[in-house]
Amino acid sequence: MAFCPICNRAAAQRGDNPALPFCSMRCKQIDLGKWLNEDYRVPVPFDPDADDRPFYSPPHEDKA
Ligand SMILES: [Zn+2]
């Protein structure tokens, strides 16, 4: 038994349910909308246009 990742209800098995792994086409559309709204976008670790400090800056060892 699979459960819909959107509404958490039981999803019908393959064959009965073209929207797998979702329970319905409606939930599939909701998931697609999330992607389009970039809710799922992975943060970009490096932005070549950013003229800011990197996320990790090593400690300076320039003390004489
Ligand atoms: Zn659902």
pLDDT digit string, tens, across residues 31-51? 988 888 766 566 667 666 766
φ, ψ of residue 54 to 5 degrees: the values are -70, 165
The residue to which tokens 């064959």 are assigned: 15
Question: Residue 62 Cα, ligand 1 centroid: separation in angstroms?
Answer: 58
- Per residue in 1-23, pLDDT tens? 789 999 999 999 888 899 999 99
Question: Residue 41 Cα, ligand 1 centroid: separation in angstroms?
Answer: 21
The pLDDT of residue 19: 94
Local confidence band at 55 (pLDDT 50, 70, 90 cut-offs): low
Question: Residue 42 Cα, ligand 1 centroid: separation in angstroms?
Answer: 24
The residue to which tokens 């086409």 are assigned: 25
Distances (CA, A) of 33 to 20, 26, 47, 51, 58: 16, 11, 26, 33, 40
Q: Are 4 and 23 in contact (CB under 8 A)?
A: yes
Helical residues (DSSP H) of 1-64, grouped into ranges:
25-36
The pLDDT of residue 29: 94
Question: Residue 4 Cα, ligand 1 centroid: separation in angstroms?
Answer: 5
The pLDDT of residue 60: 74
Question: Residue 15 Cα, ligand 1 centroid: separation in angstroms?
Answer: 17
How far apart, in whole angstroms, are the C-alpha atoms of residue 42 and residue 32? 16
